Structure 1
Amino acid sequence: MASASPRRQDLLDALGIKYKSVPAELDEHFFPGELPRKAAERVAREKAEAVARNFEHGLILAADTIVVCDGKVLGKPQDEDDAFLMLSHLSGKSHEVITAVCIKDIDQAESEVESEVTRVYFRSLSPMEIRTYISSGEAMDKAGAYGIQGLGSVFVERIDGCYFNVVGLPISRVYGMLARRGTNILRNE
Structure 2
Amino acid sequence: MTGKYPEINIFDKVQVILASGSPRRRELLSRLLPADNFHIIVSEVDEALHQDEDYLDYVKRLALSKAIAGGKLWFEKNEEAGRDILVIGADTIVVLDNVVFGKPRDAAQAGNFLESLSGRTHLVITGFAVITMNRQKGIERQEVSHTVSEVEFRNISAAEINWYVATGEPADKAGAYAIQGYGGALIAAVRGDYYNVVGLPLGPLIEQLRKF
Task: Give the alignment's TM-score, normalised by structure 2.
Answer: 0.82
- In the alignment, the residues of structure 2 paired with residue 13 and residue 162 of structure 1 have an alpha-carbon distance, to the nearest angstrom, of 18
- In the alignment, the residues of structure 1 paired with residue 204 and residue 141 of structure 2 have an alpha-carbon distance, to the nearest angstrom, of 18
State the match for 1:28 in structure 2. 47
Within the candidate set 97, 102, 115, 2:129 is matched to 102
State the match for 2:30 in structure 1. 13
- In the alignment, the residues of structure 2 paired with residue 24 and residue 141 of structure 1 have an alpha-carbon distance, to the nearest angstrom, of 16
Matched, 1:134 2:165: yes
Within the candidate set 93, 100, 107, 1:73 is matched to 100
Matched, 1:52 2:66: no
Runs of at least 5 residues in structure 1 that lack an aligned partner in the other structure = 182-189
State the match for 2:118 in structure 1. 91
Matched, 1:158 2:189: yes
Deviation at residue 77 of structure 1 after TM alignment: 0.7
State the match for 1:168 in structure 2. 199
- In the alignment, the residues of structure 2 paired with residue 87 and residue 32 of structure 1 have an alpha-carbon distance, to the nearest angstrom, of 25
Deviation at residue 12 of structure 1 after TM alignment: 1.4
Deviation at residue 111 of structure 1 after TM alignment: 1.0
Cα deviations across residues 134-168 of structure 1 (Å, max 9, x unaligned)? 11111111100000001101111111100000000
Letter in 1 for 2:163: T
Deviation at residue 15 of structure 1 after TM alignment: 3.1
Deviation at residue 14 of structure 1 after TM alignment: 3.1
Cα deviations across residues 10-65 of structure 1 (Å, max 9, x unaligned)? 11123334211101211211111111111000011111111111336210000000
Partner of 2:197, secondary structure, is: helix
Within the candidate set 34, 37, 53, 2:56 is matched to 37
Give the greater-gyration-radius structure (CA): 2
Cα deviations across residues 110-129 of structure 1 (Å, max 9, x unaligned)? 11100000000001111110
Cα deviations across residues 52-85 of structure 1 (Å, max 9, x unaligned)? 1133621000000000011110011111011001
- In the alignment, the residues of structure 1 paired with residue 101 and residue 131 of structure 2 have an alpha-carbon distance, to the nearest angstrom, of 26
State the match for 1:124 in structure 2. 155
- In the alignment, the residues of structure 2 paired with residue 121 and residue 33 of structure 1 have an alpha-carbon distance, to the nearest angstrom, of 27
- In the alignment, the residues of structure 1 paired with residue 52 and residue 93 of structure 2 have an alpha-carbon distance, to the nearest angstrom, of 16
The alignment's C-alpha RMSD in Å is 1.2
Letter in 1 for 2:25: R
